């Protein structure tokens, strides 16, 4: 297994570039070092490790490596591969593994089909999701309650409101009660429908009220395999809370799912009135806002241009004695930058300084998202974008390519000498990572 660890952390070059020369004048020791793994058990471990590291783009490489080595994938292998591509929303890879599985005589079971439908939802491809349900009927794989909730949320993600209502009618006609994830899907469908209807906010409030009758004794409840594969219900149904399910410290009260989705929708709509109505409903239910709800409250105020109310919500939480969370800082920073007003940009920078002084640090994802937003500032001193870049450099974190590209172009759009050390560093970083995204330094504008 020592070569397994080396392959995961010590060898970063693309595997397939080496396949053509693997078997020529290579000692057994060198071969082992170049290989991902030696048997199906080790390959399963590699797949799980890459998924945990969010290196989903390497899963096809691992599978190709298995084929070269003559290692036969098992049903568990395909489950792990498809879960990884689902988490990474890599629809093409998901269907590739589905097809490979069937070619080997392994018919996907209902859990795997649910993962396929979920991937379609993440990619907003409701047509494919419906086709998967038809495929299940063809292979006589009986859908379960989760299948229909996955399909409902996949159609909701694409804004296919008529399909969502059709699924709801079929479920209720079959005697199934709507659970909280169905109501979440109904809210999502309304918010994603183009154009958004004038009564969307009213519908959201209505669904929150109606959802209070759902039963926790639910036929669509999670099965053991989902838990074993590390797929939460929130992730399966592509809810906005999916990335926060495992956070502790009162970050997420999973009984408040419909409130989470509703308040997230209000923030997207920039509808403060609907948001405050839903918060009042939460209070009347005897429930306290969790951190995710505080985040959405801040987002709604800030996206609506009400910086003072967004800041007050942040300060109220910080003064409450509850555990501070880095996500609250990043929410305030991102929201303060809306419109790039002098007041907002100063608040964003002050918040970053405060966050850093309290030893809260940006993750690569958080830093990249904030840099991408800050890089859009067309006037002013560009100090917020520079500060975010410096914070990431201090921790030796390279932002995502879109963030680096936006920041580089923002610097080039200002009157900065060509030999400026910051510009030279950003330019070099841009040239280094650009080839991974289909271009080279020669194509830089």
pLDDT tens digits, one per residue of 253-280: 999 999 999 999 999 999 999 999 999 9
HSE, side-chain direction, 13 A CA sphere, residue 316: 12
Last residue of a domain, one of 106, 128, 153: 106
How far apart are alpha carbons 35 and 6 in whole angstroms? 9
Same domain, 195 and 261: yes
Of 291, 323, 355, which residue constitutes the final position of a domain?
323
Interior/surface letters 9-40, b for 16+ CB within 10 angstroms, e for the rest: eeeeeebeeeeeeeeeeeeeeeebebbbbeeb
Structure tokens at 20: 């053509």
Q: Let me know: does 385 contact 413? Beta carbons within 8 Å.
A: no
Query: Residue 246 has what pLDDT?
Result: 87
Q: Is residue 7 part of a domain?
A: no
State both tokens at 409: 């172009």
- In Å, how far from its chain's centre is CA 122? 9
- Write the pLDDT tens digit of every residue in 85-123: 999 999 999 999 999 999 999 989 999 999 999 999 999
pLDDT score for 176: 86
φ/ψ (deg, to 5) at 124: 55, 45
- Asked whether residue 67 falls in the same domain as residue 113, the answer is no
Residue 335 domain-assigned (yes or no) = no
User: Which alpha helices (H) appear in 10-160, and where do they start and end?
Assistant: 16-19, 28-34, 40-52, 59-69, 75-87, 91-103, 110-122, 126-138, 145-157
One domain for residues 254 and 145? yes
Q: How many domains does the chain have?
A: 3
For the chain, list residues with pLDDT below 50: 1-28, 30-31, 217-220, 440-445
Same domain, 120 and 179: yes
Q: Judge if 55 and 155 occupy the same domain.
A: no
My answer on whether 311 and 399 are in the same domain is no
Regarding whether 210 and 120 lie in a shared domain, the answer is yes
pLDDT given for residue 444 in this prediction? 44
Of 68, 84, 106, the residue at which a domain comes to its end is: 106
Residues 202 and 351 in one domain: no
The boundaries of the domain holding residue 76 are: 34-106
Contact 225, 111 (CB under 8 A): yes
Please report, for residues 75, 252, 401, 442, the alpha-carbon distance to residue 423 in angstroms, rounded to integers and kept in the order given. Answer: 51, 41, 16, 17
């Amino acid at each position: 297994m020592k070569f397994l660890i080396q392959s995961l952390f010590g060898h970063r070059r693309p595997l397939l570039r080496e396949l053509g020369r693997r078997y020529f004048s290579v000692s057994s020791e060198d071969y082992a070092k170049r290989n991902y793994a030696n048997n199906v058990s080790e390959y399963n471990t590699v797949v799980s490790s890459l998924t945990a590291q969010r290196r989903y783009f390497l899963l096809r490489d691992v599978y190709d490596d298995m084929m070269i080595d003559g290692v036969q994938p098992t049903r568990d292998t395909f489950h792990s591969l498809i879960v990884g591509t689902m988490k990474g929303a890599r629809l093409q890879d998901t269907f590739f593994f589905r097809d490979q599985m069937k070619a080997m005589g392994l018919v996907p079971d209902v859990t795997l089909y649910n993962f396929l439908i979920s991937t379609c939802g993440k990619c907003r491809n409701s047509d494919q999701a419906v086709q998967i349900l038809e495929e299940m009927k063809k292979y006589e794989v009986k859908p379960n309650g989760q299948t229909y909730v996955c399909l409902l949320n996949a159609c909701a993600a694409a804004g296919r409101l008529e399909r969502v209502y059709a699924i709801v009618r079929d479920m209720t006609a079959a005697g199934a009660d709507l659970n909280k994830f169905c109501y979440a899907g109904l809210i999502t469908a309304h918010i994603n429908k183009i154009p958004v209807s004038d009564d969307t906010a009213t519908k959201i409030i209505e669904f929150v009220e109606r959802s209070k009758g759902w039963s926790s004794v639910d036929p669509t409840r999670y099965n053991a395999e989902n838990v074993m594969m590390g797929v939460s219900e929130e992730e399966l149904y592509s809810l906005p809370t999916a990335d926060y399910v495992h956070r502790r410290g009162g970050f997420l009260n999973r009984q408040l799912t419909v409130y989470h989705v509703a308040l997230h929708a209000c923030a997207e709509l920039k509808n403060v009135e609907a948001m405050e109505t839903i918060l009042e409903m939460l209070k009347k239910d005897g429930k306290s806002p969790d951190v995710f709800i505080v985040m959405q409250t801040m987002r709604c105020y800030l996206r609506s241009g009400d910086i003072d109310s967004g800041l007050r919500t942040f300060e109220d939480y910080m003064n409450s004695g509850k555990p501070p969370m880095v996500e609250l800082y990043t929410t305030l920073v991102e929201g303060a930058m809306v419109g790039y007003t002098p007041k907002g940009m100063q608040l964003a920078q002050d918040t970053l300084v405060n966050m850093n002084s309290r030893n809260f640090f940006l993750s690569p994802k958080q830093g990249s998202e904030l840099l991408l937003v800050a890089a859009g500032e067309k006037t002013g001193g560009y100090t917020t974008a520079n500060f975010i870049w410096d914070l990431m450099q201090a921790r030796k974190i390279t932002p995502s390519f879109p963030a680096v590209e936006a920041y580089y172009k923002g610097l080039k759009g200002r009157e900065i000498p060509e030999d400026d050390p910051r510009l030279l560093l950003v330019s070099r970083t841009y040239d280094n990572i650009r080839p991974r995204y289909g271009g080279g330094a020669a194509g830089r504008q």
